[in-house]
């Protein structure tokens, strides 16, 4: 894949197209990671329509690889609406999330919408370390607790 | 010969960059790049226009090729894309939502 991917990237660069874009949908987050470059405060965010308008522009500009990040994406109540919109525009979508709000139903919907990658940050297998970084007691356990992990694993498996 | 109808795969990510179309399958990260003629077929794959019509009305006027040869090559090509789950190929019109929608806008 790398050779063909290199060709795509070279082609996009030659055409001066933004082939890959990270779109931070919100400042809000339900963790307080010590290393995060955001202050986690609510500075306001684009409306659903405004995000969709940007996505239209990105599709027209030639963006293929789209990373949805934040903040924590799933704090947006319109997250799945935006994801569905992005997939209808045939973006290749990757999500960066802490997964605290992803249970079986959300994982199934993410899979069914054709998201290619989901990146979840786990800072340690030791809860005291992970939780010290996220500043949210129980955050690792929340990811590991049944049925969430097993159901997420089943839902994401294609 | 029976008419063939072609429709773009529902779940694919895709973008047309100038005359090439980049396609990604989300389920296995399969990456494909269609050339100019492949891009013409992808753009025209609305599920309702017969392949023979696409060849006759879009490909033949643009390339120095007779309709019979072009259709033979196009059938071989779309069957290859079908095998890679890029196109749905049917002997009757395909009415899926994604097939009916226009392709994502083209960057040039």
Chain B residue closest to A8 (CA)?
A: B22
Give which of A86, A83, A88, A126 is closest to A107, Cα–Cα.
A83
A95 vs A121: which has the higher pLDDT = A95
Q: How confident is the model at residue A154 (pLDDT cuts 50, 70, 90)?
A: low
Contacts of B15 in chain A (CB under 8 A): 19, 59, 62-64, 90
The answer to whether residue B45 neighbours chain A at the CB level (below 8 Å) is no
pLDDT of residue B107: 66
Q: Are strands B46-50 and B5-8 parallel, antiparallel or unpaired?
A: antiparallel
The answer to whether residue A109 neighbours chain B at the CB level (below 8 Å) is no
CA atoms of A70 and B2, how far apart (whole Å): 51
Q: Extract the residue ranges of chain B whose pLDDT is less than 70.
A: 1, 96-108
The 10 Å Cβ neighbour count of residue A134 is 24
Q: Is it the case that residue A153 has pLDDT exceeding 70?
A: no
pLDDT digits (tens, 9 = 90+) for A34-72: 999 988 777 889 999 999 999 999 999 999 999 999 999
Q: Cα–Cα–Cα angle for B105, B107, B108, nearest 5°?
A: 135
The answer to whether residue A9 neighbours chain B at the CB level (below 8 Å) is no
Q: What predicted TM-score, i.e. pTM, was given to this entire model?
A: 0.88
Bridge partners (DSSP) listed for residue B33:
B22
Q: Hey, where are the domains in chain B?
A: 5-9+36-99
ipTM reported for the complex surpasses 0.90: no
Q: Which residues contact A117 (CB under 8 A, 6 or more apart)?
A: A94, A95
pLDDT of residue A38: 87
pLDDT of residue A158: 45
The answer to whether residue A1 neighbours chain B at the CB level (below 8 Å) is yes
Q: Is it the case that residue A6 has pLDDT exceeding 60?
A: yes
User: Are A28 and A72 within 8 A, CB to CB?
Assistant: yes
Cross-chain CB nearest to B24 (options A17, A89, A116): A116
Helix, strand, or coil here: A134? helix
Encode burial over A93-108: b for 16+ CB neighbours within 10 A, e otherwise: bbbbbbbbebebebbb
pLDDT digits (tens, 9 = 90+) for A71-120: 999 999 999 999 999 999 999 999 999 999 999 999 999 999 999 999 99
């Amino acid at each position: 894949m790398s050779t063909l991917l290199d060709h795509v990237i070279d082609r996009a660069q030659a055409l001066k197209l933004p082939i890959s874009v990270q779109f931070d949908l919100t400042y809000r987050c339900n963790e307080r990671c010590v290393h995060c470059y955001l202050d986690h405060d609510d500075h306001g965010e684009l409306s659903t329509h405004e995000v969709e308008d940007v996505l239209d522009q990105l599709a027209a500009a030639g963006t293929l690889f789209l990373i949805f990040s934040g903040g924590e994406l799933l704090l947006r109540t319109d997250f799945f609406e935006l994801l569905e919109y992005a997939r209808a525009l045939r973006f290749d979508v990757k999500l960066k999330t802490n997964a605290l709000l992803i249970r079986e139903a959300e994982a199934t919907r993410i899979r069914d919408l054709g998201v290619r990658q989901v990146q979840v940050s786990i800072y340690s297998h030791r809860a005291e370390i992970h939780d010290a970084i996220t500043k949210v007691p129980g955050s690792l356990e929340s990811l590991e607790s049944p049925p969430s992990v097993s159901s997420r694993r089943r839902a994401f498996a294609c | 010969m029976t008419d063939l109808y072609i429709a773009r795969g529902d779940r694919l990510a895709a973008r047309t960059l100038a005359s090439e179309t980049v396609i990604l399958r989300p389920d296995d990260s399969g990456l494909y790049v269609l050339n100019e003629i492949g891009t013409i077929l992808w753009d025209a794959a609305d599920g309702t226009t017969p392949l023979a019509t696409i060849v006759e009305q879009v490909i033949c006027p643009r390339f120095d090729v007779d309709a019979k040869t072009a259709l033979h090559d196009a059938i071989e090509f779309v069957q290859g894309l079908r095998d890679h789950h890029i196109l749905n190929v049917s002997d009757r019109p395909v009415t899926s939502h994604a097939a009916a929608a226009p392709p994502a806008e083209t960057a040039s």
